[in-house]
Every structure is written in C-alpha cells, then in structure tokens.
Amino acid sequence: MSTTGDQFEHLLSLAEENEILHQKEREAIMLMTSLILNKRRVLDILINSTIEIQQDEKALLLDALFDNNPYRKEKAYTILFRQLGIHQCLVADVLSIAPRTIRKRHRCYKEFGLAHLLNKNRKFQRKRDNTELKELLFGVLHSPPSDYGINRTTWTIPLLRESILNSERILIDKNTISQIIKKEGYRFLKAREVLTSNDPEYKEKLKKITQILRRLGPNDRFVDISCDEFRAHNHVRNDFQVEIGDKIRAKLCSNPTTGFKWEYEMSNETMLKEEDYDFEEPKGDVPGAAGIEVWTFEAVEKGTTEVHMAYSQRWEGGLKEEWTYTITVTVE
C-alpha cells in the first residue's frame, strides 16, 4: 500500500512539474509574440531589462528589427529571444525555422558579434577559405617531413594534420586539408615506387641505375643487391616471369680480396643463356673495398628453370655458400 502511495505521489509531482513547464512555455511564446507585434515593448526591454546584449549592439539590434529586410529582422529576433533565455526549440517554433539554424546564428553571434551576423551579404567563412590557414598549410607542405620529426620523404594528409596540430596547436580536419589542396589545383598521388637514401652519393648512384633501366626492355628484369642487404639476409630469392628474348640482369656485391666469388648452377641450361658477365671495380682507393659482379641472362626457350648463385671461397676448406641468390624463371 505504501509503495502504491509513493508511486502515486511521484506521478502527481511529475504532473505538477509538467504543468509548470507548460505554463512557462506558454508565457515564453506569449512574450515572443508580443515583442514581434509591439516593437515599442522591445525598446522598453532593451532599455530597462538586464538582457545580456552590449550597449553598442542594442541600437544595431533595434535598427535590424525595424528593417524591411525580413531575413535581417529574423536574425535580430533570434538573438533577442535567445538572450532573453528562451529555449531554442521555442524560438524555432515561433519563427518557423529549424532549431539547427537557431543554434548556428546564436553561435555566430557569440563568436563574431551582432554586426557580423546581421550583415546582409555575410556568409560563414569556412576553414578552407581562411587565407592564414591556407598559407600555414602550404608552408608545412613545402617543407620536408624531416623538419617535423617525421622519417619519410613525402607528406600524407594525416601527417599534415598531425604536424599542424603539434607545431601550431591548430586543429584542422582531414577533409578541410584535402579541400584546400584541391582548390589550389593540387592533388595527392600514390607513388608506386620511391627511391630514397641518406647516402651522400645517392644522386650519382640513382643516375647510374636509371641509365641501366633505360637500356632494359619493357619486360626485362633488373636486380641489384648490396653487401649490406646480403649481411642482413644471407639467402635471397626472386621469382620472375618473362618471355622469349627478355633479359635478366643481376648485380651482386662481391669482394675478391676476401677470396669469395660468385658461381652459379642452372637446373635447365636450354632455357636461359648467359649473355654477358662483368666485374665493376670498387670506387675510390680504399683497400679491400667490395666491387660488383654483373650477369646478364637472356630467355631463349619456354619452360621453368632455377638459377642458384653461391658466394663461396673456392679453395678446399673455404667457406661455402656464405651468401646465396636464387632465381626461379618461368619463360612463357
């Protein structure tokens, strides 16, 4: 019985609170209606009320309320009602506009002021149209990622966003970055291959590799394996699919001063033929520096063969297959 009585009292209390809320809503709606119909009352409120509108903005608000432009007048009523503490949903109902529009206008007023909001030709400035932000973004974009502690040579949109946030404390979303870049006529391309190195002779080596690649046919294969790569991975393997007439060029690190030399065996000698062999001497005058052994094979017959290349010391008791390089070639 006691439980039922408590529940009844709780429901009665809710009903009373609901009635009070409805009464307040009716009063708010009546107040807004009277202010729309009687602008002199607006003047009284602005002069005598403690409404939170700056003194220099009150004259501007009155001017907008008496303006013949309905859009400007609607904005003025929005700010007046919201500064009187009336909920945005009630304001939206009376002015017959969406609550979202009420929120946007009130936020704009709080951030930029009344004059900015009431400007007839005003549009919200999007971040992508912000000149300072654009200059900041391209300032970062035109700098190498290493300047921002990033170990890579090219930028991505997430990295740009992170760098601007860390260096300038400005939060900018990835879509805005993309829009700014596209608006300036640029776009991101995904690189298929990236050659990069901290080697001071990088440009010279890259030029030489480029010259070699130019001599290769569209389906030819080219492999260049350094001593450092072999030290990290003693045994390397590649699979190639080629056509008759295509070539495979292999450049392998080699240091004859240590007694090591490359030799190879071929499981099917009718399919590939050795077209050329060369040894590239080491650059500089450093004693015992490594050179490069270079083989060029040509596909002459269809089928599959395996070329097993071993880096060994030839004499009896010498180290065998210290490094190996194995190629499985399918000629179609």
**Greater confidence, 202 or 41?**
41
The whole-number average pLDDT for the span 312-322 is: 88
Pair of tokens at residue 111: 């951030």
Element spanning 238, H or E: strand 235-242
Pair of tokens at residue 192: 């298929």
**Greater confidence, 194 or 66?**
66
Find, among 306, 200, 204, 290, the residue nearest to 252 by Cα.
290
Measure the CA–CA gap between 74 and 80, rounded to whole angstroms.
10
The 235-242 sheet, strands edge to edge: 235-242, 323-331, 303-313, 260-266
Measure the CA–CA gap between 308 and 294, rounded to whole angstroms.
15
Pair of tokens at residue 326: 């194995």
**Greater confidence, 96 or 6?**
96
Query: pTM of whole model > 0.85?
Result: no
Q: β-strands 235-242, 247-254: how paired?
A: unpaired
pLDDT of 190 reads: 60
pLDDT of 1 reads: 44
Give the list of residues 6+ apart from residue 7 with CB closer than 8 angstroms, or none: none
pLDDT of 164 reads: 86
Give the list of residues 6+ apart from residue 193 with CB closer than 8 angstroms, or none: none
pLDDT surpasses 60 at 191: no
Please state, in angstroms and as integers, the Cα–Cα distance from residue 292 to each residue in 108, 211, 221, 279, following that order: 69, 17, 17, 6
For 112-170, how does the pLDDT look when each residue is reduced to its tens digit (9 = 90+)? Answer: 888 888 875 545 556 777 888 888 888 888 888 888 888 887 888 888 888 888 888 78
For 2-44, how does the pLDDT look when each residue is reduced to its tens digit (9 = 90+)? Answer: 567 677 677 777 778 888 888 888 888 998 888 888 877 888 8
Measure the CA–CA gap between 36 and 61, rounded to whole angstroms.
13
